C-alpha cells in the first residue's frame, strides 16, 4: 500500500531533509512550511500528519484540533524542540499518536512512522475481512464506517474502536480496566468511568447491539 504523509515543519533545511528520508521509503510526501499551507490541504486527508508545534503563523496544537475535527481517525506525530512533560501530555490529550523531541535522528522518525502506519492500517490490504455484519448493522472496517441499511451511523474514533473490540471478541467478558487499556492505552490517567460513558454512547447510537453489563466488572457483547 502506498501511503501519503503530510509534513508540517517551518525550518526549511529540516523540512527538506525529512522529506527526503520519508520519500526514500516510497511514501508520497507533501511538505508545508506554514500552518496556512497545511490548512489548504485538509480537504484531502493523508494517511499520516507529522506536525511541528512551533510554526510562524500558528501552532501544532491548534492544527491538530482542526485535523481531528475534519479527519478524526488520521494519526498525527508531533515533532518539537519543546520537551517538557506538559507539552507531551498536552499533545497526547489532543489526539497525537506519538511525540518526538528535537533533535532526533531522521531514522528514528522513519521507524516510528513505519510502526504507526502498520498499527493503524495493518488490515487495509485484507478486504475479505473488512466488512462485518453484526446485529442489524454492517461494519466497513477498512474505511471505519458503520451502516444500518443505507443509513450511515456517525461514530467517534473511540466509539468505533470499542465496537470493533466487542465485535471481534463476541462472548468475551471485558473488565473496565481491560477496555480502558485497549481503547485509551497504558498512558491514560483518569477514572475508568469513562468506559461507562463510552458504552452508553455506543448503545444510544446502535441500540440493536447486544452489549450486556456485568455489574461490578465490565461488559460483554453477546454472540449472534
* pLDDT of 2 above 90: no
Output the average pLDDT for the chain: 89
Encode pLDDT of 152-187 as tens digits: 999 999 999 999 999 988 899 999 999 998 898 877
Same domain, 112 and 213: no
Same domain, 101 and 38: yes
Domain boundary among 121, 144, 168: 121
Same domain, 106 and 166: no
Encode pLDDT of 63-100 as tens digits: 999 999 888 889 999 999 887 788 888 888 899 999 99
* pLDDT of 29 above 80: yes
Same domain, 143 and 193: yes
Domain extent, residue 151, equals 127-221
pLDDT of residue 26: 87
* pLDDT of 123 above 70: no
Cell representation of residue 73: 481517525
CA 192, CA 109: separation in Å to the nearest integer?
33
pLDDT of residue 128: 40
The rounded percent of the chain whose pLDDT value lies above 90 is: 62
Same domain, 139 and 97: no
Domain boundary among 86, 121, 156: 121
pLDDT of residue 127: 38
DSSP character string of 59-121: BHHHHHHHHHHH-TTS-EEEEES---HHHHHHHHHTT-SEEEESS--HHHHHHHHHHHHHHHH
Same domain, 75 and 113: yes
User: Rounded mean pLDDT of 194-209?
Assistant: 95
- Cα→Cα distances 101→83, 109, 184, Å: 6, 10, 22
Amino acid at each position: 500500500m502506498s501511503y501519503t504523509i503530510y509534513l508540517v515543519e517551518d525550518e526549511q533545511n529540516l523540512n527538506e531533509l525529512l522529506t527526503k528520508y520519508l520519500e526514500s521509503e516510497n511514501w508520497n510526501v507533501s511538505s508545508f512550511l506554514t500552518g496556512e499551507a497545511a490548512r489548504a490541504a485538509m480537504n484531502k486527508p493523508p494517511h499520516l500528519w507529522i506536525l511541528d508545534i512551533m510554526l510562524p503563523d500558528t501552532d501544532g496544537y491548534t492544527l491538530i484540533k482542526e485535523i481531528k475535527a475534519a479527519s478524526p481517525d488520521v494519526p498525527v506525530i508531533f515533532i518539537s524542540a519543546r520537551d517538557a512533560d506538559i507539552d507531551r501530555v498536552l499533545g497526547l490529550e489532543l489526539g497525537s499518536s506519538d511525540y518526538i523531541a528535537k533533535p532526533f535522528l531522521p531514522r528514528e522518525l522513519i521507524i516510528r512512522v513505519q510502526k504507526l502506519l502498520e498499527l493503524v492500517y495493518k488490515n487495509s490490504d485484507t478486504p475479505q475481512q473488512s466488512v462485518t455484519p453484526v446485529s442489524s448493522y454492517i461494519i466497513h472496517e477498512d474505511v471505519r464506517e458503520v451502516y444500518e441499511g443505507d443509513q450511515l451511523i456517525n461514530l467517534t474514533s473511540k466509539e468505533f474502536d470499542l465496537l470493533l473490540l466487542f465485535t471481534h471478541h463476541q462472548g468475551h467478558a471485558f473488565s473496565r480496566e481491560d477496555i480502558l487499556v485497549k481503547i485509551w492505552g497504558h498512558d491514560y490517567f483518569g477514572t475508568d468511568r469513562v468506559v461507562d460513558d463510552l458504552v452508553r454512547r455506543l448503545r444510544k447510537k446502535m441500540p440493536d447491539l447486544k452489549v450486556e453489563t456485568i455489574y461490578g466488572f465490565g461488559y460483554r457483547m453477546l454472540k449472534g
